[in-house]
Structure 1
Amino acid sequence: MDILPADASPPPQASHITHRKDYQPPAWLVPDAALTFDLGAKRTKVSARLNVVRGAGPRGPLILNAEALELLSVSVGGRKLSADDYSYADDRLTLVIEGDEAVVETEVRIAPDRNTQLMGLYASGGILCTQCEAEGFRRITPFPDRPDILSRYTVTLRADRTDYPVLLSNGDPGELRDLGDGRHEIMWTDPHPKPCYLFAAVAGKLAALKDSFTTMSGRIVALGIWVRPGDEPRCQHAMRALKDSMAWDERTYGREYDLDVFNIVAVDDFNFGAMENKGLNIFNSKYVLADRETATDTDFDNIAAIVAHEYFHNWTGNRITCRDWFQLSLKEGLTVFRDQSFSADHGSAAVKRIQDVRTLRIAQFAEDAGPLAHSIRPDSYQEISNFYTSTIYNKGAEVIRMMATLAGAERYRAGTDLYFERHDGEAATCEDWISAIEDGAALDLSQFRRWYTQAGTPTVNATLTHDADARTATLTLSQDLPNVPNAGGRKPMHIPLKTALFGRESGARLGKERLIELKDAAVQIDFGGIEETPILSINRAFSAPVSVKATRAPGELAFLSAHDDDPFARYEAMQELMSDWLVKRARGEGEDAAAIIDAVTRTLDDQSLDDAFRAEAILTPADTLIVDRIGTDVSPRAVVQARRTLRKTMLSGAGHERLMRIIESGRGGSFDLSPEAKGKRRLRAVALGLLFADPGEEAIAAAAALYDKADNMTDRMAAMTALAGSDTAERVRVLADFHARFRSDANVIDKWFTVQAMAETGDPLATTQHLMAHEDYSASNPNRFRALIGGFAANMPGFHAEGGAGYRFLADQILTVDRINPQTAARFVAPLGRWRRFRQDDAAAMRAELQRMLDAPGLSKDVREMAEKSLA
């Protein structure tokens, strides 16, 4: 069979919906798999020897998924089959086997250098590497490609020694053997059964930063981070993060690493951030390589978090994997919670919480409120690659966090210990996880299970009344559940709300913080001994992923922004002040900003606050959040104008002199990554951005000076970002200088593309189109496509330009990339799917582009599913 060219449009396919209720155990299992690779970029031959045995599923033939493979031979029990002895059609190899076990052998040929989908085995910058989650292994060799089939793998890699001196796979290595004729081979053995989506192999010219880690039982694990030769020094931060992660997982969850080696490989072409393959993590290079000259503080933080995330998967994803893809949040939501906790323990916990919630609100709340809404354990899907959503990851993490909150630290640990004890080596379900936490932590989570089945963001309505004579306060709570597609029911949720009261006169907290468990549609909670007028602080630390609508008297938000002792609640009060103003302004209503100016000024002057917290607190809410607050018939231009007006007002109130002092403070010291140093740089960047709300000569000169004197990428990017939004000669100079300095570093040049695509000066669409013609732009590289096209899609005035030109442009780029890499293309449909929020003309234009995509010949099922759901 011919190999389907990877850059060709796949044939149109009828939509196939997979339902969770239809799950059946596998008809066949594969306890052992032996693979041999004869590697080459143009042609790779893969020989597989599978020991298969009947499983508990319906009795039937052995069906092996096989996609874009040139089938060379098939044997069963040592007998080579003719084409009449098997069926190979519709990406499935079907074999009729009479007995209950057999040895099945196949040989196939694939072309890694033509695999632009970057799923299966593909070439990236001279390196051969794999990506198999979710269904990429079927593009390597025929196999029953589902996560509940766990196999022990033995992998032999053969290749030209000059082209591929390093050969890596899962597990522990044997000896590297010379084969003569300039070729060599190595065998890797993984003793731990794993699903095929965790298979990995890498070959190429690589160099390693090496280290070791001694586990809590005294075993020494060899660590290696493999990169292009010369990049090893930029792996130091990732290596520190890896060792910190291994120690943290032992200390916090009691989980010890279980192989003799742990390797990470960085490649430039990757659809995801990273992949947790057992013992051989493959990373997008932007989440490995870092130094002060090329990486921002955010990059450093992201690298540490993602290294931790993928390492933590060793237990929450690998040792215990998913029974089926409907259980994806079992591993992803849990592991995101684990990496968030790790990052909080290694930095500012308050700032980390603020950043995580902002990400949730921008991405997941919007998803929850639109046509793509789904629960964290959905009932159906069409294309599994579209299943990797903010709901699965970020909301899934919030659900785990609520369970930990309800249990408390000690009982939560008891629950996780029981989960690992019960299910190690299994393909588990979300129900298995919940039951273990229930039993280990002695909790009743019967109602809480609705978080796994009901979609949408609940709204909690809160009203606090005070009876001065009786010295009591009454908190009335109710919950509203949104009517969204695929809601999965609208029964009351179990919502844990951390709550406190503060005295208006004293500014002190009145009693202890209480954890209120809202389970009913409405409830009243009484507080006694309230001697002064109370002010409500609710959902402290964002204890539940809900929207809170609290009835508040004038000045209460300003009070909380100054007095609340919970950092998140204090930040939340500042954001609410700004959001209320922006919503009213975007609707054409006048609103005094005096309370905001006072709160911003007070926050900037409060030296008792962390610099990073001050920076987060004075940031204006994202445009997308204001769009969601308004709800319907939104004018995106009015939202942008409201935000610009507020920033100018804040600038006027905060004062140029105060902001200039912040920009100048802390410069000249030695660079480090302490929370204090990162906080100073963060506050400096935010202050500079606020100055550019109405940039004068002083602001332009300050940005140019910061750029020219910068000894780190954080300050350099802050200056370039500010200048990129101005129509000045310094903008042209700095952008040219930045490209000249870093043109050889792809990850840094991604930043250069993004900064310009997101700049609101001039005509953002024209700027983006101009950059597409740049010699450094390539739509086939996911990072570069995300950097430029993703930056433009996030540019509110550019994307929502009058006449719909931005919508047409995005749809054109989706259709172009869909022919190359459907997974990447599908992720860009969502901005058009938000059409219901906007005024009639904008909505009609967005709908028209969605329909145009659906009418395009050869549209992939990835994009088709997203477009169909967006129009439904």
Structure 2
Amino acid sequence: MKDAQPKTIYLKDYKAPDFLIDQTDLHFTLEASATVVESRLQMRRNPDSASTDAPLVLHGQEMRLLEVAVDGTTLTEDGYALSSEQLTIHKVGDRFELMTRVEIDPQANTSLEGLYKSRTMYCTQCEAEGFRKITYYLDRPDVLSEFTTTIVADKQEFPVLLSNGNPVRCGDMEDGKHFAVWHDPFRKPAYLFALVAGTLECVEDQFTTCSGRDVTLRIFVEAKDLDKCDHAMCSLKKSMRWDEEVYGREYDLDIFMIVAVDDFNMGAMENKGLNIFNTSAVLANPKTTTDAGFQRVEAIVAHEYFHNWSGNRVTCRDWFQLSLKEGFTVFRDAEFSADMNSRTVKRVEDVSLLRTLQFAEDAGPMSHPVRPPSFIEISNFYTLTVYEKGAEIVRMIHTLIGAEAFRRGSDLYFERHDGSAATIEDFVTAMEEASGTSLDQFTRWYRQAGTPEIAVADEYDQNSGEYRLTLSQSCPSTPEASSEEKLPFHIPVAMGLLGDAGNLALKLKGETPDAETEDNTHRVLELTEVSQTFVFENLPEKPTPVLFRGFSAPVRLQFDYSRQQLVAIMSRDSDGFSRWDASQKLAVAVIGDVQGAYIEKGEGDHPVDALLVEAFRAVLNDESLDPAMVALMLQLPTEAYLTEIAETAHVEAIHFARKHVRRYLAEQLREEWRAAYDRCLQEGEFSVTAAAIAERSLKNTALGYLSLLSEKQSIDLARQQFAQATNMTDEMAALAVLVNADQEGADSVRDEALKDFYTRWQHEALVVNQWFVVQAGCHLPGGLERVQQLMQHEAFTLKNPNKVRSLIGAFCNGNAINFHRPDGAGYEFLADQILTLNGLNPSVASRLLTPLTKWRKYDPQRQGLMKSALQRILKEPELSKDVFEVVSKSLKE
């Protein structure tokens, strides 16, 4: 390993910085051979530091120091000490100017952190610790500075020069060079710094803020992508208006810029005034982008813009507080998307992600609290736990104190901490003061890892009309604490009671009815003890409890619903999320029947509960329902989710059972599927309205079922749709059907479609990535060999994270039947790729490890093979900190 004993960093060891940087002046000279960075830092000792005579220790990696000076005096080598990660200045005063000049090589920077080249442009990614690859600096979130940046480069090669803040001046120089100066008046930590230089075109628009200021909006892209910016620009303007109306937050600079970059480790980055985006998160055009892609662009544009306040104007004190900005902002962007589209569909999509992937993370070796107590490499903690579970915690606060108090709390938080680095306690305190509600117990959500489990028991007394509902909570053991050490959480339980005719009125025993209650069939209970009993009265019948409506808390619910009860919730409950959730529970039970029969008897024509068929038929025939909601309810739980909820994942049984049930539903409901397909056919101009997306969603769900029919001509409809599609949503849906078809003659149809698709779209990188994804996910035998062959394709490279995720990531995470081959070849393949990427891009390599970290989920033979692959990775002598942390924690028994 590069560092034989990687250092663990602990939250408990936090100390205020010894020095502060009031002003940062950066000068970049961009050259093909090397880039020279000169920085001038106006520094002073921090009055809040416990040390009054500490030396100045700066972060820095992978650069050559050319000169260092203090107050204009160049230091000799005895005046400083240099290591691979630090520059230490032995003696400095209380106030001084530090100047350093360094040389870096962006073209050789394959980690895509710091300053690097993406195709023909220079760009940066500094979160979390990339700035230390640019110049020597106090690279920590609690050191905020006012930045001025000067960029010098060849004008012909790099006509566009961008950085944070507002443009100050620009001009031409000798030898064909030019310069640009940018100034950001708002203090920020180094991780929010950004620089872009290249040959770019831009789409420009204007936005007038609520106070009447005009802001220039620009999206910079390569010339070929100018026709893919309109949706992002529209999304940006809607985000700016929404943040003003819902949170009272107005944009503060004169210009807001987005740059699309092809080589990028993340989705996007919220650098102040200059957001750098992965091309996949900003470019959208009906011909090249699916509906999901359009919605993703809208959500990510909003997310990064919302960071201007929840992340930039108020940043986090240290990286342990990462969810302070990310969890809060994910909640904000989810609410924005819900307001722009279907609230229920958005909630279902978010919960599906949480249950399938974050719950698995909570149950695995990398499990950690939303605010982790320690880390080795911070890049490994940009996780679903920090982001998605963090957002759920914010949502629970919103539920507990109400929308009005939450808005008062956010106003107080922004006012109190504007221009500073805050903590999670600061956020919670603002919410407490604004609402008058104690959230002391609630903060355990930030400190305790794991997914709470809620066991439910109920009892109805027909004579008295009383219904007793007992809720008990527990939390499994996780690396930081055993289940016995876990203290009870404060859990909001949104609920209703369902009777034969619909939802029943709710009245807790001894409670005085509230005349102001708008809906007496819905309420939020607060579970704070290990076990609590709630007694409802005046009920004429034994109800079916509908618990955690809207997924009011990220928990696992344990209640033995009958299948008839689930059908009742599917058809009659007032909460859309609960109806979808019931459909999933019913499908899980029916798939479980077939799964058990497969384990006992092997393949065969195993019976499928007719109740599922009739429930699906009722949903399909109810044209009053939102088509998007219908499509969600009729999609069976994924293999990934079925694996996550299984105590031991039987790979072949899960795959067979789900496929068997899908085929049965296709056969039994063929007329209904075709009717749904036909009524959702669209004519006229393409639209990304919620209604249009809903119709396409249901149509393509129906197409997927119709393609499973056994007759040879069952894929003709998909072939016709593929040939006639006028948008990428319909084209990709048809292609996925053809790629997975196993009927007689399907091979030639599949090969022809794949060839035709690539021929037409080979010059559109993002579309080719989708082409990789659909082939990586093909469940037919030979999946590993197909992926290995595609790695030799002209369009694939390991140096581009999007390509890696589209092919290797999609295969290993989404194609269980082929990745988990009994011979372990899939595990060895993934280990090979991780070892290669370890030297190219450690951040991407560590994220690819996730499938192997779940080895405890599988049978003993697969466990051994997966552990063997992990052990082989661990033996690599030059292992990065990123990969080492994940592998070493994964192998702990």
Structure 1 length-normalised TM = 0.97
Q: Distance in 1 between matches of 2:266 and 2:827?
A: 25
Matches of 1:773 and 1:327, distance apart in 2 = 42
CA contact (8 A) 2:70 2:92 kept: no
Structure 1 partner of 2:194: 200
Query: Which residue, out of 13, 25, 32, partners 1:22?
Result: 13
Per the TM alignment, residue 732 of structure 1 is displaced from its structure 2 partner at its CA by 1.0
Distance 1:330 1:514 in 2: 28
Question: Is residue 373–residue 487 contact of structure 1 (8 Å, CA) maintained in 2?
Answer: no
**Aligned residue among 735, 738, 757 for 2:776:** 757
- Paired residue secondary structure (2:203): strand
User: Does residue 853 of structure 2 align to residue 862 of structure 1?
Assistant: no
TM-superposed CA distance for 1:684, in Å, is 1.4
Does the C-alpha gap of structure 1 residues 265 and 255 become closer, same or farther in structure 2, counting only changes over 3 Å? Answer: same
Question: For structure 1, which segment, 490-499 or 53-62, has the greater mean C-alpha deviation from structure 2 after superposition?
Answer: 53-62
Misfit runs of 4+, over 4 Å: 589-592
**2:635 aligns to what?**
619
1:680 paired residue among 672, 690, 695: 695
- How far did 1:19 drift? 0.2
- Confirm or deny: 8 A CA contact 2:355 2:641 kept in the other structure: yes
In the alignment, the residues of structure 2 paired with residue 420 and residue 334 of structure 1 have an alpha-carbon distance, to the nearest angstrom, of 12
CA distance, structure 2, for counterparts of residue 748 and residue 544 of structure 1: 37
- What are the superposed Cα offsets for residues 427-485 of structure 1, whole Å, 9 maximum, x if unpaired? 00001000000101221101100000000000111122211111111111111211121
Secondary structure in structure 2 of the residue aligned to 1:103: strand
Work out whether 1:230 is the aligned partner of 2:221. no
Equivalent positions of 1:555-574 (< 5 A) are: 555-574=564-583
1:341 aligned residue: 335
Task: Name the structure 1 match of 2:603.
Answer: none
Q: Is the 8 A contact 1:474 1:527 kept in 2?
A: yes
Q: Distance in 2 between matches of 1:710 and 1:142?
A: 53
The one-letter code matched in structure 2 to 1:48 is S
Match of 1:281 among 251, 275, 289: 275
User: Where does 1:641-720 land on structure 2 (aligned, <5 Å)?
Assistant: 641-656=656-671, 658-659=673-674, 661-662=676-677, 665-720=680-735
> Equivalent residue for 2:831?
811
Please show how residues 342-741 of structure 1 align to structure 2 within 5 Å.
342-487=336-481, 489-504=485-500, 506-511=501-506, 512-587=521-596, 588=599, 592-632=608-648, 634-656=649-671, 658-659=673-674, 661-662=676-677, 665-727=680-742, 728=746, 729-741=748-760
CA distance in 2, matches of 1:695, 1:206: 51
**In the aligned structure 2, how far is the partner of 1:66 from the partner of 1:273?**
25
Alpha-carbon distance in 1 for matches of 2:383, 2:874: 22
Q: Which amino acid aligns with 1:36?
A: H
Match of 1:7 in 2: none
SS of residue paired to 1:94: strand
Structure 2's unaligned 5+ residue stretches are 507-520, 601-605
CA change 1:15–1:656 in 2 (3 A) is farther
Letter in 2 for 1:600: F
Contact 2:24 / 2:42 at 8 angstroms: preserved in 1? yes
Question: Structure 1 residue 767: deviation in Å?
Answer: 0.7
Name the Cα RMSD after superposition: 1.3
Query: 8 Å contact 1:119–1:131 — kept in the other structure?
Result: yes
CA distance in 2, matches of 1:54, 1:612: 58
* Aligned partner letter, 2:531: A
Query: Normalized against structure 2, the TM-score is what?
Result: 0.95
How big is the shift at 1:533?
2.5
Question: In the aligned structure 2, how far is the partner of 1:193 from the partner of 1:423?
Answer: 13
Which structure 1 residue ranges, 5 or more long, are not aligned?
Answer: 1-9
Shift of 1:582: 2.6
Counterparts of residues 832-871 of structure 1 (less than 5 Å):
832-871=852-891
- What CA distance in whole angstroms lies between the structure 2 residues aligned with 1:690 and 1:241? 33
- The aligned counterpart of 1:11 is 2
CA–CA distance in 2 between the matches of 1:412 and 1:783? 37
Pairing 1:54-69 to 2, within 5 Å after superposition: 54-55=45-46, 56-57=48-49, 58-59=51-52, 60-69=54-63
Aligned-pair identity (%): 45
Distance of 1:603 and 1:827 partners within structure 2: 39
Q: Give the paired residue count.
A: 861
Deviation at 1:551, TM superposition (A): 2.8
- Give the deviation of 1:656 after TM superposition: 4.8
User: What is the CA deviation profile of residues 44-73 of structure 1, one whole-angstrom value per residue up to 9, with x for unaligned ones?
Assistant: 100000011111223411111110001100
Give, as a single letter, the amino acid of the residue that structure 2 aligns with 1:762: P
Alpha carbons 1:583, 1:626 under 8 Å: kept:
no
- The separation in 1 between residues aligned to 2:833 and 2:72, in whole angstroms, is 50
Report the CA distance shift for 1:732/1:657 in structure 2 as closer, same or farther (over 3 A).
farther
Give the distance between the partners of 1:754 and 1:591, measured in 2 at CA.
33
CA distance in 2, matches of 1:117, 1:318: 24
Do residues 44 (structure 1) and 48 (structure 2) align? no
Q: How far has the Cα of 1:340 moved from its partner?
A: 0.3
Which of 139-148 and 177-186 deviates more?
A: 177-186
Work out the CA distance in 2 between the residues paired with 1:203 and 1:695. 56
Looking at structure 2, the residues matched to 698 and 668 of structure 1 have their Cα atoms a distance apart, in angstroms, of: 25
Alpha-carbon distance between aligned partners in 1 of 2:662 and 2:133, rounded to the nearest angstrom: 51
CA distances 1:481-520 after superposition (whole Å, capped 9, x unpaired): 111212484111000011101113x234344211000001
Contact 2:164–2:183 under 8 Å retained in 1? yes
Does the 8 Å contact 2:496/2:503 carry over to 1?
no
Alignment of 1:244-255 (within 5 A): 244-255=238-249
